Amino acid sequence: MDVRLARKLGFCFGVERAIETASRSLEQRGGDISSLGEIIHNRQVVEKLAAEGLHVIDDPDEATGTVLIRSHGEGPEVFEKLARRGVEIVDATCVLVKRAQHVVERLAREGYQVVVIGQAEHPEVKAVSAYAPDVVCVDTPEDLDRLPAGGKVGIVCQTTHSPEHFGGMVGRIVARGYPEVRIVNTLCQEVRDRQAAAVELAGEVDVMFVLGGKQSANTRQLAELCAERGVPTHHLEGWQDFAAEMVAGKTVAGVTAGASTPKWVIEEFVGNLRRHPPG
Ligand code: F3S
């Protein structure tokens, strides 16, 4: 089968750094460290690091020894709790997530009602929202009813959202007539590059494959954007999820992958698909 790859795909620098940090810490400490939540939304990577001694814990109260903070970051209370427990903290929060946290803190200090456009349950959004009191999190037009009626509003966005979604929500907030709206662009360029490359490729192929964890927000978003482009799109974790009927009647397939999808998952998928006969 003719298989084309998006010109930007796979690991972003934040995820790469988190994995490198985890591997280095495991090596230095001879294994046995904990990660607060899964290090990235990718089962294969989590399993590989677990075999090397990176255990996942869900509660800072369970922490002992050395604890890794993943690229999504954590709120200040979690850092305080870990410090009180006397554990060693290895902070692999992505620099762009750190920036969003600082922006939220500053906006609140300057008297803005902070609004985060993002999925309230996403770990990055939860952590960013923890840096100011009474943050309102909105992700759909229906959520806007939660906003206060007046006052000055400061807006940031989940790093992995698309500029279209951010812009659309900002427009709706502005239309509510606040006397002052401060917008800080906290979108991640790595994600935007992958989105633009995926949409471009989706326009040239008969079918798109988007590789990445089902929990990965940026992978799901890539799949949504490709599907919106009108091409049949499959979001798979890897070659094990592939079925021949996905390429029935197709000759050209496109492949992209989320920011937490390792290279070997992409290479295995592309190699196998290239050997697969056209549908
Ligand atoms: Fe950071 Fe962007 Fe990756 S925010 S973790 S570089 S997707």
What pLDDT digit, counting tens, does each position of 183-197 carry? 999 999 999 999 999
Atom of ligand 1 nearest to the CA of 71: 5
Are 86 and 130 within 8 A, CB to CB?
A: no
Is the shortest distance between the CB of 124 and ligand 1 below 6 Å? no
pLDDT tens per residue, range 109-141: 999 999 999 999 999 999 999 999 999 999 999
Tell me which residue has its CA closest to atom 6 in ligand 1.
14
Strand partners, 182: 154
Q: So where are the chain's domains?
A: 2-11+189-275, 13-92, 96-183
Q: C-alpha angle with apex 99: 224 to 77, nearest 5 degrees?
A: 100
Q: Is 260 in the pocket of ligand 1 (CB under 6 A)?
A: no
Tokens of 53: 């001694």
Probe target for ligand 1 pocket from 190, 192, 218, 222, with the most ligand atoms within 8 Å of CB: 190
Fold of the CATH domain 2-11+189-275: Cobalt-precorrin-4 Transmethylase; domain 1 (3.40.1010)
Q: What angle do CA 140, 212, 70 make, to 5 degrees?
A: 80
CATH of domain 96-183: 3.40.1010.20
Torsion angle of the four alpha carbons 17, 13, 260, 193, in this order, in degrees rounded to the nearest 10: 170
Q: What is the pTM for the complete model shown? A: 0.89
Q: Do domains 2-11+189-275 and 96-183 have the same CATH topology?
A: yes
Q: Is 124 a catalytic residue?
A: yes
Contact (Cβ atoms closer than 8 angstroms) between residue 200 and residue 226: no
- Record: fold of 13-92: Rossmann fold (3.40.50)
Q: For residue 95, what is the enclosing H or E element?
A: helix 95-109
